[in-house]
Amino acid sequence: MVLSKTASQTDVSVHSTFASRYVRTSLPRFKMPEESIPKEAAYQIINDELMLDGNPRLNLASFVTTWMEPECDKLIMDAVNKNYVDMDEYPVTTELQNRCVNMIAHLFNAPLGDSETAVGVGTVGSSEAIMLAGLAFKRKWQNKRKAEGKPYDKPNIVTGANVQVCWEKFARYFEVELKEVKLREGYYVMDPAKAVEMVDENTICVAAILGSTLNGEFEDVKLLNDLLVEKNKETGWDTPIHVDAASGGFIAPFLYPELEWDFRLPLVKSINVSGHKYGLVYAGIGWVIWRNKEDLPEELIFHINYLGADQPTFTLNFSKGSSQVIAQYYQLIRLGYEGYRNVMENCHENAMVLKRGLEKMGRFEIVSKDEGVPLVAFSLKDNKRHDEFEIAEMLRRFGWIVPAYTMPADAQHITVLRVVIREDFSRTLAERLVMDIQKVLHELDTLPAKVNAKLAMTEEEHGKNGTTVKKTAVETQREITAYWKKFVSERNTNKNKIC
């Protein structure tokens, strides 16, 4: 006779998580559960869901660091419970941040004396860094306008249309008009001449990008500085420059040391850089450095006294972890100038391997530049039959996450694929990606053209009165993509039925 036993609903002694009741019930999604569950079950259930995430090492869309040495991982875990804001309790961590600020300031050629301390702060990323730099520019401009008895209610900032969204956030959150220099086909960064033309007496600064998110290109900060110097002389203004070096700040000093983009230029008053990009630290650390104390209005700084010393603080948030600050200091002293240069050279060489592989196919137009962030941005020379979105979608089957996107105004008709080369992307992976892209192209060539199949329906629609209404490029692209996804889904369904 077979004996059976119904497990108690409160029995937590089952050794195997997968034999327990906890894997037979749906996970709470909106409300906290009434009862507790064993720690092993909680871990396993969450870990199982996280398996469905992409592999960070194969996420070629991101600039953010995805690998660090085990020794640094240990330092991070040892400090994971330290709240950075508790400066009294963790004075050494505060000292490490100050060391990082000084090292980065010297890397950017800040005009510091032998015993002079740099002006800067660690942030949770370049977004916060840009907010702080923008606030400093706005307050300094307002103070000057007040002193001159002039209106100070309509500040603006001049950028290229290729700026990261954090600039739009700054403009919206802090009520600053964002004046964008439009792009054009073949020129995907801010034109310095057009930027200077847009400057007026209400411009708090011009923002230049050292490493565009779109194609990795460095904007010509030197030319911008020279043109702006002339305009300031003609007008009597003193419009400054901020350099958004989120991606390029840890690249240019090592690969292009002669390139003038930093504090060597007199109008550059502040620079931000992402430690969690090519600073080689996991996500959660950025830096903003000012040229000197006069460029950061004193009223924005809070002062804390501890251990007999004055600690100035200027941040948007309060509590934050200490781990990333410690990790940045580890990388700076572990790698040194030599180590960073070697890493950046490797990244650049692997980018060139990928670029040459794509060029040999004869199907792609390379839109990135050899000098800049080590990435490869490319588009199809002929996308009438199949487009870049299809390639991105099909590459996911091989594990690769490669973004496809359209350029900003006025180059919206250009679609681009972008592969960011990070420290942990080896030549072997670059060669493998080339082979997988070839496989995708071969398979796409065997499939019917998605555009031709629905072109008549997607490009034009007939209105109620019989008139022809032409759809926008975005609407057309969305419908084409939807049709293609449906076609692929039905094709896979039919395959499964046959199997």
For range 300-306, the mean pLDDT: 79
In a domain, 229, yes or no: yes
**pLDDT attached to residue 294:** 95
In a shared domain, residues 367 and 320:
no
Alpha-carbon distance 10 to 1, whole Å?
27
In a shared domain, residues 194 and 150:
yes
Question: What is the token pair recorded at 43?
Answer: 């871990």
Angle at 50 between CA 48 and CA 54, to 5 degrees: 130
Question: What is the token pair recorded at 290?
Answer: 């000012």
Sorted by sequence, the CB contacts under 8 Å of residue 360 that are 6+ apart come out as none
**pLDDT attached to residue 462:** 47
- Confidence band (pLDDT; 50, 70, 90) for 26? confident
In a shared domain, residues 260 and 364:
no
Q: State the number of CA atoms in the 13 A half-sphere of 150 facing the CB.
A: 10
**pLDDT attached to residue 197:** 98
In a domain, 45, yes or no: no
Alpha-carbon distance 383 to 363, whole Å?
10
CB 337 within 8 A of CB 257: no
In a domain, 452, yes or no: no
**pLDDT attached to residue 317:** 84
**pLDDT attached to residue 477:** 57
pLDDT at position 321 over 70: yes
pLDDT at position 340 over 60: yes
Alpha-carbon distance 74 to 493, whole Å?
47
In a shared domain, residues 354 and 251:
no
Report the percentage of the chain scoring pLDDT > 90: 74
**pLDDT attached to residue 490:** 65
* Ramachandran assignment for 121, one of left (phi > 0), alpha (psi -120 to 50 degrees), beta (any other): beta
Domain termination residue (choose one: 304, 335, 366): 335
CATH number, domain at 168?
3.40.640.10
**pLDDT attached to residue 457:** 45
pLDDT at position 49 over 70: yes
Domain termination residue (choose one: 401, 417, 441): 441
In a domain, 234, yes or no: yes
In a shared domain, residues 415 and 316:
no
**pLDDT attached to residue 279:** 98
For range 120-124, the mean pLDDT: 95
In a shared domain, residues 198 and 298:
yes
CB 402 within 8 A of CB 60: yes
Alpha-carbon distance 238 to 178, whole Å?
19
Lowest-pLDDT range of 92-96, 272-276, 304-308: 304-308
In a domain, 63, yes or no: no
For range 373-384, the mean pLDDT: 96
Range of the domain at 373: 336-441
Q: What end-to-end distance do the CA atoms of the chain give, in Å?
A: 41
- Confidence band (pLDDT; 50, 70, 90) for 486? low
In a shared domain, residues 390 and 436:
yes
User: Pick the residue with more confidence: 451 or 430?
Assistant: 430
In a domain, 202, yes or no: yes
In a shared domain, residues 296 and 392:
no
Alpha-carbon distance 394 to 385, whole Å?
15
Alpha-carbon distance 317 to 88, whole Å?
18
Query: Which of 202, 180, 201 has the alpha carbon at shortest distance from 191?
Result: 180
CATH number, domain at 421?
3.90.1150.160
In a domain, 413, yes or no: yes
Domain termination residue (choose one: 424, 441, 458): 441
In a shared domain, residues 349 and 293:
no
Rounded to 10 degrees, the C-alpha dihedral 141/142/146/151 comes to 100
Average pLDDT of every residue of the chain:
89
pLDDT at position 99 over 90: yes
Residue 296 has phi, psi (to 5 degrees) of: -120, 105
**pLDDT attached to residue 456:** 41
* Ramachandran assignment for 246, one of left (phi > 0), alpha (psi -120 to 50 degrees), beta (any other): alpha
Angle between helices 165-173 and 126-147 (to 10 degrees): 40
The 10s digit of each residue's pLDDT in 133-160 is 999 999 999 999 999 999 999 999 999 9
Q: State the number of CA atoms in the 13 A half-sphere of 481 facing the CB.
A: 16
In a shared domain, residues 301 and 363:
no
In a shared domain, residues 401 and 314:
no
In a domain, 467, yes or no: no
User: Pick the residue with more confidence: 231 or 464?
Assistant: 231
The 10s digit of each residue's pLDDT in 411-439 is 888 999 999 999 999 999 999 999 999 99
Alpha-carbon distance 100 to 98, whole Å?
5
Number of domains in the chain: 2
In a shared domain, residues 330 and 340:
no
Question: Is the pTM here over 0.85, yes or no?
Answer: yes
